[in-house]
Structure 1
Amino acid sequence: MMDLLYFAWVRERTGVPREKIETTAATVMDLVEELKARDENYALAFADLKSLRVSLDQELADFDAPLEGVREVAFFPPMTGG
């Protein structure tokens, strides 16, 4: 079981702040493809990956990162300074 967290406009587009899922995805990108296939809201949320960041167990990661052993995946827009 894996926790997914969505922040800012990602949460607005998916319609949920968090969820628990079972997945067979090997990488973050595989997971994104699974989520995009759910419905148009998820497809919209993950349409532009250049505008998204991901963390695995609270560590920044790339979309090609493996998911083996990961308990939490968070998706969020890039942070801006200030």
Structure 2
Amino acid sequence: MIKVFLFAHLQERAGRQEMTIDKGELTVKELKERLMEEYDLPLDGVMVAVNEQYSLEDEVISSGDVVALIPPVSGG
């Protein structure tokens, strides 16, 4: 299983802070597509960290990995 943590407005949209994906292996792109389809999450521009390392779309996520979806933030 893959553990996914959501931050900021993604938590509100999904109605939860974390979720698990019962999949052995998939890419960051496949994960984002799945979450956009299943939870209607706006993931354009969202940074993805796998095991605390920022990852590109073609990075493979394996069972046991921890993923964080980090939306862009602004401040002043």
Higher strand share: 2
Which residue of structure 1 lines up, in the alignment, with residue 47 of structure 2?
53
Q: What per-residue deviation string (whole Å, max 9, x for no partner) do you get for residues 16-57 of structure 1?
A: 10012212552111011112221xxx22x23x512x111000
How many angstroms apart in 1 are the aligned matches of 2:49 and 2:18?
14
Check whether the contact 1:57–1:70 (CA below 8 A) recurs between aligned residues: no
2:3 is equivalent to residue 17 of structure 1: no
Which blocks of at least 5 consecutive residues in structure 1 are unaligned? none
% same residue: 28
Higher helix share: 1
* Aligned residue type for 2:55: A
Moved over 4 A (4+): 79-82
What RMSD in Å do the two structures reach over aligned CA positions? Answer: 2.1
Query: Against the structure 1 CA distance between its residues 53 and 26, is the aligned structure 2 distance closer, same or farther, given a 3 Å change threshold?
Result: same
